[in-house]
């Protein structure tokens, strides 16, 4: 939850303050986000994050806690798609955890998958598209990409998102996102 909301603020060049979170559990995320250019203040159960104008490329390797969480890998991949330069993201925990790449490519991302690693070459902007949520975290990544994309992004199969995030669109809307749930 908190990591995804923090990255939503960064991908939209916004700002967010969160209370009642265990910021020490997000230390490895904060390290990478600072490397990308985000401003982060974290104290005990409070964090404030501000996104910058230009994201810098990164290298990420997922590891067991306290390393970089595999659950945040798809979302940081979405951020990396907009970084100026080439980012490398290596997945060491779960095989086949790049199901979100197809949707990101559909939105204009330049990504190459090589076994357990993705290489992104940052693009100036992503384009809205109709994409399908492959799983919980992949759906979060596509949602973040949609927030930053030009035009309308339609995300299908959101039942995956609902399993991991309770009414994510409401939380993002409160942060200023133009996002609507459309019931079939």
- Indicate the class that CATH gives domain 2-174: alpha beta
Residue among 83, 120, 88, 87 nearest 104 (CA): 120
Condensed to tens digits (0 to 9), the pLDDT of residues 14-67 reads 999 999 998 889 999 999 999 999 999 998 899 999 998 889 999 999 999 999
What residues does each domain of the chain span?
2-174
Please determine, for residue 145, whether its predicted confidence score (pLDDT) is greater than 80: yes
- Contacts of residue 8, defined as CB under 8 A and 6 or more positions apart, other chains included, come to 14, 16, 143, 144, 147, 172, 175, 177
Specify the pTM.
Answer: 0.94
Q: Are 43 and 66 in contact (CB under 8 A)?
A: no
């Amino acid at each position: 939850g908190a990591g995804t909301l923090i990255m939503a603020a960064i991908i939209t060049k916004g700002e967010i303050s969160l209370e009642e979170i265990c910021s020490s559990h997000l230390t490895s995320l904060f390290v990478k986000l600072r490397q990308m250019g985000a401003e982060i203040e974290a104290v005990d159960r409070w964090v404030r994050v501000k996104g910058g104008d230009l994201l810098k490329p990164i290298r990420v390797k997922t590891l067991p806690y306290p390393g970089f969480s595999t659950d945040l890998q798809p979302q940081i991949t979405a951020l990396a798609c907009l970084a100026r330069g080439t980012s490398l993201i290596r997945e060491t925990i779960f095989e086949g955890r790049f199901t979100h790449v197809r949707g990101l490519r559909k939105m204009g991302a330049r990504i190459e998958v090589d076994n357990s690693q993705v290489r992104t070459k940052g693009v100036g902007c992503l384009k809205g598209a109709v994409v399908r949520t492959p799983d919980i975290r992949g759906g979060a990544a596509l949602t973040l990409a949609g927030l930053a994309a030009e035009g309308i992004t339609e995300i299908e199969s959101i039942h995956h998102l609902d399993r991991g995030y309770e009414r994510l669109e409401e939380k993002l809307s409160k942060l200023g996102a133009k996002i609507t749930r459309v019931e079939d």
